């Protein structure tokens, strides 16, 4: 089995790296924080002192980092991956970042003869732990085919959607729809509640028709119980929608409604709710309407 480099052992990265070990891959890992590296070392991973060293020791290298600046720093910065990786080796960035940044990183690596895929995921921490992530991959077909088995050790769905950057474009399309579908649910349920109708009856009446959605199924009953624990944090959704707006400006696509829901999410951040589930978009509407969306019948 190949030896894989893995940089970024956070909430997502650590369980993903663990699944690679389980699947029989050898790992060389790096993170700024020693704790997660030690955990993985106990499971058999080798530790490196820098991204450069990880790249020197492996020909397939995965990064799982918070956002575009961290990815650029770790791959293109001093002591970065690009300083250690040999021509012909492959870098897979699985972070959710701006597709503009993905292309920048991909072009820089290509200039050194290093292959690159952007492969962001959805499915969150449970998906990372259970190896059931959906992985959206952008990059050359041959590179994708070469990495398919490796990626399949971390996810249940591994789909190529186009060239470098396409993975993150697809992830952003996903995040746009999710945010707006939550806002749609919020406007509908707050209007209904404020008009005196039990929101649980509205939910039951409409969920089977054209208004039905996975957002409604995942979130409606939870918010009616006042449960806004993540799930997916507002802070992360703000990051993704900022990237969506950046990508939209870069290509000339209008995101009228996404821009507004981003503003709502940022308002919630300012109130200290960045750590709440993104379904707390509802709370923005609740406060303005001075009403609480709570089911009144069981």
**What does the alpha-carbon distance between residue 220 and residue 41 come to, in Å, rounded to a whole number?**
42
Tell me: does residue 267 bind a second copy (CB under 8 A): no
Residues 114-173 that bind a second copy (CB under 8 A): 122-123, 134, 136, 157, 159-163, 165-166, 169-170, 172-173
Neighbours of 78 (CB within 10 A): 9
Residues 39-68 that bind a second copy (CB under 8 A): none
Residues 85-114 that bind a second copy (CB under 8 A): 99
Pick from 12, 54, 97, 261: which binds a second copy (CB under 8 A)? Answer: 261
Does 14 participate in catalysis according to the annotation? no
Give how far the C-alpha of residue 238 lies from the chain's centroid of Cα atoms, to the nearest Å.
12
Residues 189-248 that bind a second copy (CB under 8 A): 189-192, 194-198, 201-202, 204-206, 208-216, 218, 244, 247-248
Q: Which token pair is 141?
A: 């077909």
Beta strand extents in 123-165 (DSSP E only): 133-138, 155-162
Pick from 1, 43, 141, 288: which binds a second copy (CB under 8 A)? Answer: 288
Pick from 4, 178, 223, 265: which binds a second copy (CB under 8 A)? Answer: 178
Q: Using omega within 30 degrees of 0 as the cis cutoff, is the peptide bond preceding 99 cis?
A: no
Judged on CB neighbours under 10 Å (0-12, 13-18, 19+), 40 is buried
Tell me: does residue 76 bind a second copy (CB under 8 A): no
The catalytic position among 72, 103, 115, 171 is 171
The count of chain residues that interact with a second copy, using the rule CB under 8 A, is 74
**What does the alpha-carbon distance between residue 121 and residue 11 come to, in Å, rounded to a whole number?**
13
């Amino acid at each position: 089995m190949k030896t894989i480099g893995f940089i970024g052992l956070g909430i997502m990265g650590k369980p993903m790296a663990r699944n690679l070990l389980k699947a029989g891959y050898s790992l060389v890992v790096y993170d700024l924080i020693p704790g997660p590296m030690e955990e993985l070392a106990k499971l058999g991973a080798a530790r490196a002192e820098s991204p450069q060293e990880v790249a020197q020791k492996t020909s397939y290298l995965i990064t799982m980092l918070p956002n575009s600046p961290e990815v650029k720093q770790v791959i293109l910065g001093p002591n970065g991956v690009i300083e250690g990786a040999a021509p012909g080796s492959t870098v897979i960035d699985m972070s959710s970042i701006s597709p503009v940044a993905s292309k920048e990183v991909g072009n820089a690596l290509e200039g050194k003869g290093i292959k690159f895929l952007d492969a962001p995921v959805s499915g969150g921490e449970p998906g990372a732990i259970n190896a059931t992530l959906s992985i959206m991959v952008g990059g050359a077909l041959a590179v994708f085919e070469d990495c398919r088995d490796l990626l399949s050790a971390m996810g249940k769905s591994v789909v190529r959607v186009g060239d470098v950057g396409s993975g993150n474009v697809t992830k952003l399309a996903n995040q746009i729809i999710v945010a707006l579908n939550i806002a749609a649910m919020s406007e509908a349920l707050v209007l209904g509640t404020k008009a005196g109708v039990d929101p649980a009856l509205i939910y039951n009446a409409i969920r089977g028709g054209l208004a039905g959605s996975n957002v409604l199924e995942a979130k409606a009953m939870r918010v009616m119980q006042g449960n806004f624990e993540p799930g997916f944090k507002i802070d992360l959704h703000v990051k993704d929608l900022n990237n969506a707006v950046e990508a939209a400006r870069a290509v000339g696509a209008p995101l009228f409604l996404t821009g507004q829901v981003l503003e709502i999410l940022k308002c919630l951040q300012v109130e200290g709710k960045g750590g709440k589930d993104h379904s707390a978009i509802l709370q923005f509407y609740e406060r303005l309407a001075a009403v609480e969306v709570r089911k009144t019948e069981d």
